[in-house]
Amino acid sequence: MTVCPQGPLLLRGDFEIVDAEGQSIDARQGPVALCRCGGSAIKPFSDGTHKLMKFERPKQGTGSCPTARASGSCL
């Protein structure tokens, strides 16, 4: 998982997403971006709304995203 400072959580590799009722959510193939801003119309997935909202990460922690910085992979 990669935490993008002003964006979504990016998931890569083998994983399963399960809702509150224990039902598996179709995670599609390839990398998945999960919404952190709360504004996405396709939750739990990101639709890019964080850019329109000018979402900023919570202030606690370092918020570093070394993988994304190196690869430019944050949305």
Q: Higher-confidence residue: 56 or 2?
A: 2
Instruction: Please say if the pLDDT value at position 73 is more than 80.
Output: no
pLDDT digits (tens, 9 = 90+) for 6-49: 899 999 988 888 888 999 988 766 789 999 999 999 999 999 99
Give the helix/strand (H/E) hosting 9. Answer: strand 9-11
Report the pLDDT value the prediction gives residue 13, as an integer from 0 to 100: 87
For the residues 56-71, what does the mean pLDDT come to? 56
Q: Is the pTM of this model over 0.85?
A: no
**Of the candidates 38, 33, 62, 67, which has an alpha carbon nearest to the alpha carbon of residue 50?**
38
Res 53 pLDDT > 60: yes
